[in-house]
Structure 1
């Protein structure tokens, strides 16, 4: 019987998903150092996939609880951009299908930009519905950031089609026509809220990059409007832009 090359075995391992796979049991008999290294890598990969699946299942508890009570169209709601000195506050609402699975789904702040963008596309493609709403700096200044955040969330919810049966909301309490559960740090505890946080942050980051083309001095493409040392120094040197929140310190000190 022809002895397989290391490369051939590596390709085979890519398609093996179970410990009791006959092909894996055969490969385990191969004592070559290169094969043993591949097997270690495979076991490590399987352990990581198992961990991510268990984490996903843990984050699906709220959805499963409400589905068991007859709610099907469950919308996760989250916002980003309450703290920056410039740019809008952005909210997203996302209704995921019952069988949705995305290994590694988590609070958007815990993901790299590349991973957020990858997940954003998957979520938008597979969601039953999603919506994004933005409240700009002048309105934030007019009504305050808390009220602007609530308005953005309500607008995102109202734009969903189909309409939700129930809302899972990150931390905020909202008056809406729908039953709702508010979850502290929900973007790390609920797949629906995590999905909304990714959609909201990706949308906001893309907008801030667009704004930076017109106002390059402030580094919006990097700081996303947050008050970094370089951003504050740019405000001191150049004054403020139309996208700055005049009611926020230290922006209001330079008007």
Structure 2
């Protein structure tokens, strides 16, 4: 009995091997609708193959290190250097050789839904995950560059087991651990990409909680970045304890409010 177009569509959804004998039979089917389904299926398979190849390529640094008997390779990345409020947060992730989440890459290239899905996968598959956080007060004290280094170091120190080598996104740390600094490393290394996803999702959750504590700044949506709603909230409500007073837009608001306060007192 000849399958309907809908039945063939459902069948193709469960076929991932181009050598499957059912595919050859479908090519012999004269119906236009069947060939349209086959074209769509072929594009999907090509996309998956390319995605898998790119994933394997992003493991090239790790494979080289594994071949040199490094067992615990930590990818390290941060998020939150640019916002006006909230912490800078770093993550360090040690992945197993069997890690298979082929969509893992720089968190900025992913939708919120996909990031959250991959976050759970990384949590389940990673050998170890470490988080390091530095608050706004410390950022103001030491500057954001140094605060980022502190956050990364904290994340690494929170790993168990401790790594025997590091792959770090565009940073070098004063640690007695062999390390490579990779520019745009979150798009070159699966370990760094995984760290970027963990860091981003974790920090977004923190800022969503702050949105409840400090309403009126739209922290849940902007994660502390200087959006129009955030700046409007600053002008209307003033600073919160999580604002970075060393950042110029915040400095301007602080100076404005201090000027008004002085004039009122005079």
TM-score by length of 1: 0.97
Question: Where does the alignment leave 5 or more consecutive residues of structure 1 unmatched?
Answer: none
Equivalent residues in 2 for 1:70-109, closer than 5 Å: 70-109=69-108
Whether 1:251 aligns to 2:253 is no
What's the C-alpha RMSD, in Å, of the aligned pairs?
Answer: 1.1
Shift of 1:227: 0.9
Deviation string, structure 1 residues 143-185 (Cα, Å, up to 9, x no partner): 1111111111001101101111110000111011211111111
Report the 3-state secondary structure (helix = DSSP H, G, I; strand = E; otherwise coil) of the residue aligned with 1:176: coil
Displacement of 1:40 in angstroms is 1.2
Residues 49, 103 of structure 1: 8 Å contact kept: no
Instruction: Report 1:173-252 matches (<5 A).
Output: 173-252=172-251
Q: Deviations over 1:31-88 (max 9, x none)?
A: 2222112111110110110111111122111111111111121100000001100000
SS, match of residue 90 in structure 2: strand
Deviation beyond 6 Å, 4+ runs, structure 1:
none
Q: Distance in 2 between matches of 1:191 and 1:165?
A: 17
Cα offsets for 1:89-110 (capped at 9, x unmatched): 0000000000212122210011
Query: How many pairs are equivalent?
Result: 254
For the Cα contact (< 8 Å) 1:77–1:169, is it kept in 2?
yes
Contact 1:73-1:165 at 8 Å conserved across structures: yes
Give the CA deviation at 1:19: 2.1
Conserved? CA contact 1:91–1:156, under 8 Å: yes
Partner residue in 2 for 1:135: 134
**SS of structure 2 residue aligned to 1:227:** coil
1 CA distance for matches of 2:19 and 2:46? 15
Residue 149 of structure 1: aligned partner: 148
2:46 counterpart of 1:33: no
CA distance in 1, matches of 2:222, 2:171: 25
Instruction: Tell me how far 1:230 sits from its aligned partner.
Output: 2.2
Aligned residue for 1:216, secondary structure, equals coil
Question: TM-score, normalized by length of structure 2?
Answer: 0.93
Q: Which residue of 1 aligns with 2:259?
A: none
Provide structure 2 residue ranges, at least 5 long, that are not aligned to the other structure: 255-266
Secondary structure, counterpart of 1:91 in structure 2: strand
The answer for the alignment partner of 1:9 in structure 2 is 8
Would you say the 8 A contact 1:77–1:192 is kept in 2?
Answer: yes
Range with greater deviation from structure 2 (3-12 or 88-97): 3-12
CA distance in 1, matches of 2:203, 2:30: 52
Q: Separation in 2 of the partners of 1:131 and 1:5?
A: 52
For residue 11 of structure 1, report the CA deviation from its aligned partner. 2.3
